[in-house]
Amino acid sequence: MIRHDAELGAANTLGLACRAERFAALESLAEARQVLAEARRHGWPVSVLGGGSNLILRPWLPGLVVQADFADWWLEPLDADTVRVHVEAGMNWHSLVEALAARELWGTENLALIPGRVGAAPIQNIGAYGVELADLLESVHLLYLDDGRETVLSREECAFAYRDSVFKHALHGRVLITRLVLRLSTRPAPRLGYGDLAARLGPTPSASEVVAAVSRVRREKLPDPAVLGNAGSFFKNPVVAAERARRLLAEYPGMPHFPLADGSVKLAAGWLIDQCGLKGLREGRVGVHDRQALVLVHHGGASAEELLALARRVADTVAERFGVTLEREPRLLGRALP
């Protein structure tokens, strides 16, 4: 069913006030086909909303906003060690992680407590604690918004990279992801090399114990959007050429840095922001979180523009001091009120 002039304020973790000209919660794939065909008939532009945890919403979303609510999932055993998991777009990501861990299926544990829904996970190739969705994903089922065509993309066709995929480029704004297919292991495969996970767990933890440990670390580090509006990391960790990293390290020997396979070096955006003395900065109704400089927060009543102005100030300060460009992670959607 299509609702008109729908309030979406509660539908984004930053808590920015937003109205959609039209909004449809899609209960099934059949309803998705039918509603999107109607949008095509009327020429409405379509935007897709997941859990709203990686979005900066401007006050007005014209056309039609759809949200996939269908959320079935099922297992397809492949052999003694491997299981294929089919999961529809509307399922909450963390609920999926918990359900898989409870069955001792290994692969998603380190991605525990990432907010949002399954359908959005491939967009920026969600990642945490040394694991990315791309490590587990086999294929993505989707529906093209412009002609209703349905297809399945292999992992290779998704062109995954750090916080990146084909869905941010050639397919940007062009598809509704309807289902993911993951490949998980029935053999214990804990990956505890990141942060202090190993220190928090015994030598042979269960998958659910890993999920619980990752969740605890995340709760300690990140503000809960239900309490303080935020979209998680506001900036991607910048990747710089080896030569620039070498020069920066000569000046800042303590700088966290992670050499990548292609010779470039990933830096920690939070560290760079912190070094500029911006942690805890408050500008009106928005600010930089006081424990995690990578997270911009909304104290209530602000607009997307206020948040973007703060983001520009943070990025400009880092560029001036380190000569490193910070790129925004959450996507911007909508426009000023008509």
Ligand X SMILES: Cc1cc2nc3c(=O)[nH]c(=O)nc-3n(C[C@H](O)[C@H](O)[C@H](O)COP(=O)(O)OP(=O)(O)OC[C@H]3O[C@@H](n4cnc5c(N)ncnc54)[C@H](O)[C@@H]3O)c2cc1C
Q: Which of 230, 237, 275, 317 binds ligand X (CB under 6 A)?
A: 230
Going by the DSSP 8-state scheme, the letter that residue 263 receives in this structure is S
CB atoms within 10 A of CB 13: 23
Total residues at the site for ligand X (CB under 6 A)?
32
Could you tell me the smallest distance in angstroms from the CB atom of residue 249 to ligand X?
26
Q: Choose one: 43-51, 195-203, 242-250, 309-317; the region binding ligand X (CB under 6 A).
A: 43-51
Question: Are residues 2 and 22 in contact, defined by beta-carbon separation less than 8 angstroms?
Answer: yes
Binding letters toward ligand X, positions 123-162, x by CB under 6 A: xx-xxx----------------------------------
Active site (annotated) includes residue 47: no
**Long-range pairs of 28-35 with CB within 8 A, sequence gap ≥ 24:** 28/70, 29/70, 29/88, 29/143, 29/178, 32/66, 32/68, 32/70, 32/143, 32/176, 32/178, 33/143, 33/148, 35/2, 35/64, 35/66
The answer to the question of residue 175 lying near ligand X (CB under 6 A) is yes
CB of 142 to ligand X, least distance (A): 7
| Residue 252 beta carbon to ligand X: minimum distance, rounded to whole angstroms | 25
* Sole window of 28-36, 172-180, 279-287, 315-323 interacting with ligand X (rule: CB under 6 A): 172-180
Stretch that binds ligand X, among 42-50, 149-157, 189-197, 272-280 (CB under 6 A): 42-50
**Dihedral sign, Cα of residue 52, residue 207, residue 183, residue 95:** negative
115 touches ligand X (CB under 6 A): yes
- Please say if 329 is a catalytic residue: yes
Q: Does 231 bind ligand X (CB under 6 A)?
A: yes
Q: Which of 163, 165, 179, 303 is catalytic?
A: 163
**How far is residue 157's CA from residue 140's CA, in Å, rounded to a whole number?**
9
Among 22, 23, 25, 51, binds ligand X (CB under 6 A): 51
Annotated catalytic residue within 47, 139, 165, 233: 233
At closest approach, how far in Å is the CB of 95 from ligand X?
12
Q: What is the bridge-based pairing of β-strands 60-68 and 19-26? A: parallel
Residue 222 binding ligand X, by CB under 6 A:
yes
Choice between 114 and 281, CB closer to ligand X: 114
Instruction: List, in order, residues 6 or more apart from 270 with CB less than 8 Å away.
Output: 233, 292, 293, 294
Is 88 annotated as catalytic?
no
Closest CA to 183 of 265, 255, 106: 106
Instruction: List b or e across 205-239, with b for residues whose CB sees 16 or more CB atoms inside 10 angstroms.
Output: bbbbbbbbbbbebbeeebbebeebbbbbbbbbbbb
Q: Tokens 């869905």 identify what position?
A: 167
Q: Is 18 in the site for ligand X (CB under 6 A)?
A: no
Selected from 25, 39, 46, 89, the binder of ligand X by CB under 6 A is 89
By 3-state DSSP, what share of the chain in percent is helix, strand and coil, each rounded to 5? 30, 30, 40
Contact positions vs ligand X (CB under 6 A): 13, 48-55, 68, 89, 114-117, 119-121, 123-124, 126-128, 175-177, 222, 225, 230-232, 331
The catalytic site residues sit at 163, 233, 329
